[in-house]
A = this chain, B = another copy of it.
Amino acid sequence: LNNIKIGVIGGGQLGKMMILEGKKMGLHFTVLDPSKDCPASSIADQLIISDFYDSKKIRELAEKCDVVTFEFEHINAEGLIALEKEGYKIYPSPYTLKIIQDKYDQKSFLKKHSIPVPEFLIVNTIEEIYHAASILGLPLLLKSRKGGYDGKGNAFIRSKEDIPKAYESLGSGKLELMVEAYVPFALEVSAIAARGITGEIEVYPLAENIHKDNILDITIVPARVNKEVEEKAKKLAMKVMEVLEGIGVFCIEMFVDHDNRIYINEIAPRTHNSGHYSIEACSTSQFAQHLRGILEFPLGQTTLLSSAVMINLLGEEGYEGEAIITGVQEAMKIPGVYVHFYGKTMTKPKRKMGHVSILDEDLNKALEKAEKVRKIVMVISREGKVRGD
């Protein structure tokens, strides 16, 4: 273990939490990130400052390491494919990454393998969006095929009148676009799943996610669904891991509609915000599990030790500048509260600055505690509230 060198593309909080697990085992980490102050920087053994598309720097990373992985999917997949061809070990496979990067390819791939997804169509012009609306009905989601996350790259079309604005907001044709039928969902859920080198698959307990302004706000585990839905969702997650030949941890986001039908929303070929609860609530955290996967080690157990609620700590509205977290001491008085603060120097509204996991045997009590914590803990700035609205 002393001598295993892992390369991580992306040094955000996901990379940081992975390194924290790996350091327990004495692993060595080199991180590639554009920012020298990224959250992982303070604990990485080496840092390569580079954007995520610089083939030369990514090659440098691969040359230094025994295995390369990533905490972010919008990176140079072609460069990684070339390296994989040369024999460098890259997990998950860059071919899988490439399919997932393009939402249209991702959905087409899943559909081809009989995995249920919302109806979708490729659209190249505004006329084709109008046409798609008449085929798929309304509401409709207009999506950039590549590069979106946390709702960025998506536009919601409620009526035909919304189409021009939506089209404009996604670059008026400069980006490759697709449309997707809107699923009137009862619940959004996600399954963190891991696949090992031998093909073994472990799926974590189903998590229920509530988004606010398209950003994950709260994760509730176990998801409040019946046994049948839980089983069906887990089976779907396993099938996704199989057909994508994933190695390491993936997140499979799903919609559950009012008739308990399940549709895959999106797949992330990496650890995920909705799996943070696993650090305290599961026998193996998603980060430790990912490392086991990419090291070709046996996977760990995903047993849920306690019901859990995770709330994200976003930069408070109206505050920008040097980050300060308040209320931690008070929140820690509540039993079962675990505060994570990513160590980002600067805050701005809605930036993911940390999260809090709240464990309680009784899920309702965990939810009550989470509401309390939400009122107590805030990320503001040293400079104080910015004037305005």
Interface residues of A (CB under 8 A from B): 1-3, 16-17, 20, 23-26, 28, 42-43, 45, 279, 283, 292, 296-298, 300-301, 305-306, 323-325, 328-329, 332-333, 335-336, 338-343, 345, 354, 359
Contact = CB atoms under 8 A, between A and B. Distances in A.
A336 B283 contact: yes
Given A25-B339, A26-B341, A43-B23, A332 B2 contact: no
Nearest to A335: B301
Nearest to A1: B341
A359 B283 contact: yes
Contacts of A329: 296-298
Given A23-B343, A42-B45, A43-B43, A332 B297 contact: yes
Given A298-B332, A336-B301, A359-B283, A341 B2 contact: yes
A203 to B, nearest CB: 16
A283 B337 CA distance: 10
A23 B26 contact: no
Contact of A354 (B16, B26, B324, B359): B26
Contacts of A339: 1, 25
Contacts of A332: 292, 297-298, 300
A289 to B, nearest CB: 11
23 contacts: A1-B339, A2-B323, A16-B23, A20-B20, A20-B23, A20-B24, A23-B42, A23-B43, A24-B279, A24-B340, A25-B339, A26-B325, A26-B340, A26-B341, A26-B343, A28-B42, A283-B359, A297-B328, A297-B332, A298-B332, A298-B333, A300-B332, A305-B306
Contacts of A336: 283, 301
Contacts of A3: 324
